[in-house]
Amino acid sequence: QVQLVESGGGSVQAGGSLRLSCAVSGYTYSTLCMAWFRQAPGKEREGVAARGRGTGIIYYADSVKGRFTISQDTAKNTLYLQMNSLKPEDTAMYYCAAGTQFCRAGYWNDGGRYNYWGQGTQVTVSS
C-alpha cells in the first residue's frame, strides 16, 4: 500500500504562487509514475503534470506549461507542484496520484492508470 497526503493549497489572487506538497509513504518503490491532477466543480478531472520516479521524465498539460513545475525530493519522499502566475481557471481541488506503471506520453494524464490517490487540497484563485 501507498499513502499520499497533500498539503499547501489555499486562496491567492491571480498572478500569485502556491507550492503543493505530497508526502508519500508505504511501498514507495512501486510508484513508477507520480502525478498531479485537478478537478473543478462541474468539470472532468484533468491531468496537470507527471514525473517518472526513476526516469525523471516530465509531462505537463498545455494549460500549465511554463507556469507550473513538478519536482520530487526522493530523500523526503515528497512530490511538489510549484504553481506560478496562477489564473482563476486554475481553481480546483488538486490531487496527488501514484501509479505502478511507467509514465507514458499520451497516457500520463489517464487517471485510470494510477493506483493510489491523496485526499486532495483546494486551490482557489481570485481575479
pLDDT digits (tens, 9 = 90+) for 44-60: 999 999 999 878 899 99
| Confidence (pLDDT) at 6 | 97
Q: Are 49 and 57 in contact (CB under 8 A)?
A: no
- CA pair distance 77, 64, nearest whole angstrom: 24
Average pLDDT, the chain: 95
Strand partners of residue 78: 23, 73
| Confidence (pLDDT) at 29 | 77
Roughly how many angstroms between the first and final C-alpha of the chain, as a whole number?
Answer: 40
C-alpha distances out from residue 80 to 42, 46, 76, Å: 26, 17, 11
| Confidence (pLDDT) at 67 | 98
